[in-house]
Structures are given as structure tokens and as C-alpha cells.
Amino acid sequence: MRNKLASTIGCVLLFCAPFVSLGQQKPLTNADVINMVKGGLAESIVISAIQLNPANYDVSPTALLALKKAGVTSKEQNAMLAANKAASAPAAAPAPQPSESPANAASATNPRGWRMPTVSVTQGAASQPIPLEKAQLAQTKNKPSSMSGLASDSVVTQALQGGVNTATYSLASKVNSPVGGSTVQQAGSIFSGVMAKRKQSVTYVWGVPSPSSTNIFQNFLPTFAINFANAPGINPEEYEPAIVKLTPAQNTCRIVGATQGKEDARQSAAADWQVYSSFLEERVAASAEKSKPGEYRLTPRSPLLPGEYAVVLRPVSKTKKFSGGDVARGQGDGFAFNAVWSFQVAMAQ
């Protein structure tokens, strides 16, 4: 299954290797696509990789049936067909001229204009990017009554501690190169702490492995520049950035928040889960200045106390519905909700 990324991360790194060097690209084959799918990459990432790399696919009826049996979705197969058609075209598109803007050059290589969302902390003219992390999910029977209660739940902390965190997700960085080498820190997928025989309500807990962030600020009133205007598979008008306080848990991880849902919610493809309607989190009062859809400047309204925090993307409407499958695989709206840019405000010296 695609959501078992943690158990197959070694394979993911192996087949990502050909995409790291932009100067040594080899045409992707059916086997490469199957490896990406079985490695647990989100559908949007697989499609972007297909669009951005040379193509050498077998699209015969027999091969297409084999792709379907291997779990390759219809959208991924359509992208393969389009890539093969473009590769066989008589003339290639002209290379971007030096006078073209980076945005136009990006559009030439990425027809959909997808870019990984970015967050930078700004101070005057200086800007420091913050790496994108993907929150890991744990499951417990205990109700989400308080953040401290979740932090003391050994089932949750053991599940989050068992996650895999790769420092650089090479394929994602390469696929979204128009943003300037955005780094993605992948924190695994769902780990079930408690499983029940009947499909009852359980608590899903979002957390970030490791007890503290490596992004340390001395500024108690940081200003963030945020851009998710072209994030894969989401409508930027449906989201806004927020700052949340993270709760350290038993020196193993940091809790982002939690909500209740059916035990099999993560297996559903239907968009029927109101993840944020009763989501428990410690949201920090902040001013979000919107310049255009998906582009914001975000500043806390009062100085932040020393501790662990994160910039996150949250639905404008609390009743927005998610597909549990998208949340589990971290794609589309699930990718946006799972995204975390963590930082630490240190004690003044």
C-alpha cells in the first residue's frame, strides 16, 4: 500500500537517485513509475516526475493492464501517455531565452505550474527559508482532551518515535525545482497505535518526530513570507497560514494537534472527513496579510514565549471535507494539512 512509506524508504531513495542530477537525466520507464508508486509517493509527485523527465514508456494494451495491476492510477497513466506523445512530437519546444523570467521558464518545464509551498522568516532585506516537513500520524483510543494529555500518551509517542525522517526528499525537491531547491523533510505516514476489531471512533494525532526543531530564532516577533499559490492539488483560496505551538512529548517528538475520526477513515477515498471541524491545537494569535491567493505575510500579534512552534496551512472553513486516503498518503488537501514548518524560539541570552 502507498501509505507504507516508512517501511519502504530504502527503496524510495534508491529509485530517486536518477533524478538528483539534472545533467544526467535518463528517460523514465514503466518500471520507474511502478517503483515510485510502490514506494509510496503521492500521486501528484509521481505525475510531476513523469511530466518533468524524458519518457520511454511502453503504452501497449498489455503494458497498460500491467501498470493498472501494479497500482498505477488512471491519472498517472494519462500523464505517461501524454509524455510519450510529447516525446514523439516532431519538434521540441524552444529553450527559454535569457530574457525570460524564472516563472516563465518554470511554466515551460512544468505545464501545470506546480511548486512546493515555501516559508521563509524575514528580517529587513534578509530572508531565511524554513524546510518543509510532513507531519506523521499516530492513532490512539484516548480522546483528545488536551495537548498535555496527548503528550503523555505512550501509545502516541512510541508511534511517532518509530517514524522515519529523511533529511532531504530528493525527488520532491527536483520535481519542484522552480521554487529554488525547496527541501522537504519526510516524516513518515500513519502508524496505528491501537487497533480495534470494530470500526469505532479513534483519535488521530499529528506529530513531528524529534524533540526540538533545528530552526532556532532569537526573534520573539518573527515575520514569515509564505507562498502556496501553486501547491500540487489544492485550491489556495481554501487555505490560510497559521502559527501553532507544538507540545514536546517525552523528549521524543512534538505534538501538532489531534482530532477524532473513524478507525478506517484513512482508507476512504471519499471526501467526507471534516478533519478541522473539532481539531485540537494551540493556535497562536497572528496577523495574516494576504497579497494574492496563496501568498501571505504572517506575524504573531504578541511576542512569542520561548518554545516550539510551527507555521501550518489550515482550511478557511472548518467544515471543509477531506479524503482520508489523501491525508494518509499526504497528497492534495492531505498534503496541505500535513505540511509543517517548525521552529524554536530560544531564551534571550
Using the Cα atoms of residue 61, residue 63, residue 64 and residue 68 in order, give the sign of their dihedral.
Answer: positive
In this predicted structure, which of 93-102, 135-144, 329-338 has the lowest mean pLDDT?
A: 93-102
**Domain identity same for 280 and 193:** yes
When mean pLDDT is compared over 149-153, 284-288, 343-347, the highest value belongs to 284-288
| Domain assignment present for 75 | yes
104 inside domain: no
- From 92, 107, 141, the end of a domain falls on 92
Q: What distance lies between CA 270 and its chain's CA centroid?
A: 20
Mean pLDDT across the stretch 94-116? 53
Instruction: Report the DSSP beta bridge partners of residue 257.
Output: 206
CA gap 170, 12 in Å, rounded: 10
Nearest to 159 by CA among 199, 209, 203, 202: 209
User: 107 lies in a domain?
Assistant: no
> Percentage of the chain surpassing pLDDT 70?
73
Q: Kindly state the percentage of the chain with pLDDT values over 90.
A: 41
How buried is residue 122: exposed, middle or buried, by Cβ count under 10 Å (0-12/13-18/19+)? middle
The answer to the question of residue 85 being in a domain is yes
pLDDT at res. 139: 87
Same domain, 279 and 222: yes
Residues 50 and 130 both lie in one domain: no
What phi-psi label fits residue 40: left (phi over 0), alpha (psi between -120 and 50 degrees) or beta? left
**265 pLDDT band (50/70/90 cuts)?**
confident
In angstroms, the CA 313 to CA 281 distance is: 13
Q: Is residue 1 part of a domain?
A: no
Domain edge (last residue) among 57, 92, 127: 92
Mean pLDDT of 54-81: 89
Residue 160 in domain: yes
Residue 323, number of CB atoms within 10 A of its CB: 21
Cβ contact 2:37 at 8 Å: yes
Same domain assignment for residues 20 and 62: yes
Q: Name residues whose C-beta falls within 8 Å of residue 301's C-beta, 6 or more positions apart in sequence.
A: 285, 286, 287
Question: Does 224 lie in the same domain as 327?
Answer: yes
- Cβ atoms 229, 295 nearer than 8 A: yes
204 neighbors 137 (Cβ within 8 angstroms): yes
Residue 61 lies in a domain: yes
| DSSP class per residue in 282-304 | EEEPEEEEEEETTEEEEEESSPP
Instruction: Kindly report the average pLDDT of the chain as a whole number.
Output: 78
> Which pLDDT belongs to residue 312?
98
In angstroms, the Cα distances linking 203 to 53, 150, 222, 259 are 40, 10, 32, 6
Angle, CA of 44, 49 and 53, to the nearest 5°: 155
Pick the most confident of 64-78, 91-105, 146-160, 277-291: 277-291
Q: Do 186 and 332 belong to one domain?
A: yes
Average pLDDT on 214-228 reads 93
pLDDT category at 161 given cuts 50, 70, 90 is low
Q: In the prediction, which pLDDT does 175 show?
A: 40
In a domain, 98, yes or no: no
pLDDT at 208 over 80: yes
Which pTM does this prediction carry? Answer: 0.63
Reduced to 3 states (helix: H, G, I; strand: E, B; else coil), residue 319 is coil
One domain for residues 18 and 141: no
Q: How many domains are there within the chain?
A: 2
pLDDT of residue 241: 98
Q: Are 11 and 171 in contact (CB under 8 A)?
A: no
pLDDT in tens, 237-261: 999 999 999 999 988 899 999 999 9
pLDDT at residue 213 in the model: 93
54 by Cβ neighbours in 10 Å (0-12 / 13-18 / 19+) ranks as exposed
Residues of the domain holding 332: 118-345
215 with 341, same domain: the answer is yes
Q: Check whether residue 77 and residue 189 sit in a common domain.
A: no
Higher pLDDT, 68 or 242: 242
Query: Are residues 224 and 152 part of one domain?
Result: yes
What is the average pLDDT across 22-47? 80
Sign of CA dihedral 253, 254, 256, 261: positive
Residue 264, judged by CB atoms within 10 A of its CB (0-12, 13-18, 19+), counts as: exposed
Task: Specify the amino acid at residue 25.
Answer: Q
pLDDT of residue 52 exceeding 90, the answer is no
Place of cell 511517532: 160
More reliable by pLDDT, 125 or 269:
269
The CA distances from residue 40 to 18, 44, 77, 327, 328, in Å, are: 17, 12, 16, 13, 10
Residue 135 one-letter amino acid: A
My answer on whether 179 and 301 are in the same domain is yes
Residue 173 sits in the same domain as residue 300: yes
